[in-house]
Amino acid sequence: MPEGDTIFLAARRLRDALAGRPLTLSDFRVPRYATLDLRGRAVDDVVPRGKHLLARIEGGLTVHTHLKMDGEWRIRPAGAPPRDHRVRLVLANAEWMAAGYSLGTVEVLPTGEEDRAVGGLGPDLLAPDWDAAEAVRRLTRDPGRAVGEALLDQTLLAGIGNVYKSEILFLRGVHPWTPVGAVRDPDGMVDLARRLLDANKLRHGHVTTGDLRPGRRNWVYGRAGRPCLRCGTRIRRADQGRADQGRGDQGRGDQGPASGERVTFWCPRCQPEPRSARA
């Protein structure tokens, strides 16, 4: 699932292509909105909220989309709309066309009711009205919860996915199954999360090491079984989530079948396992 910086960049590209121009095409390829026609209305703005995109349309409507796992927006010069079964929405003006592929959510709602879609989100790490204190308060309100789970909870703070979760925990030296209440500096963790996303919000890719060479852009994410870039210990991975009830067999494994949405990566030496998490 895309991280918050990916959504920030997508919103900027959509805004640059669509904002301030009347739509010449609105093609909703979802049954609920198949007859909705927004032609002639200008796009006022495109706003990111966590992992959600809100395209505000003249006349008080908002087109809300979410990429989920596989979605993406592709922008190209105006022309014939793509004939592809994966396309769920096309918005175009006289100059540019934006096609949404494999979008997990497509809905239209009154702009004044956007909270129906995003009101449950925690503070947005990349929002101009970012509230760090509120983010820390939410992150720490369940002290017994594993910090690797809490960082992914979009109702606590919005924008962190598996990549940044794993990288934040590595850089802070925190094991993924550490209870939130045992994290020594949650303020520093939240600050690091915002700085990492902010550093990558205008480029493709999530670089956390400062090294742009292939295979060295991240400390632990995607590097299961390979040596830690800091200490040489073999990186581990596992699924992590409420349903796991702890680490299970994968927690001590090297490769494991960690292919779900909640995969986590860590270095067992740089991120020592807390006693409270041990079997």
Domains plus CATH for the chain? 4-118 (3.20.190.10), 132-277 (1.10.8.50)
3-state secondary structure of 276: helix
Contact 123, 159 (CB under 8 A): no
Query: Per 3-state DSSP, what percentage of the chain is helix, strand, and coil (rounded to 5)?
Result: 25, 25, 50
Q: Give me the residues of the chain with pLDDT under 70, please.
A: 1, 242-261, 276-279
Question: Could you list the active site residues?
Answer: 2-3, 51, 262
pLDDT at 256: 35
pLDDT at 264: 96
Give the CA dihedral 159, 160, 161, 166, nearest 10 degrees. 170
pLDDT at 255: 33
Whole-prediction pTM: 0.88
- Per DSSP, helices labelled H in the chain are 4-18, 115-118, 132-139, 147-150, 162-172, 186-200
Contact 106, 100 (CB under 8 A): yes
pLDDT at 262: 84
pLDDT at 28: 98
Between β-strands 96-101 and 72-77, what pairing exists: parallel, antiparallel or unpaired?
antiparallel
Neighbouring CB atoms inside 10 A of 15's CB total 17
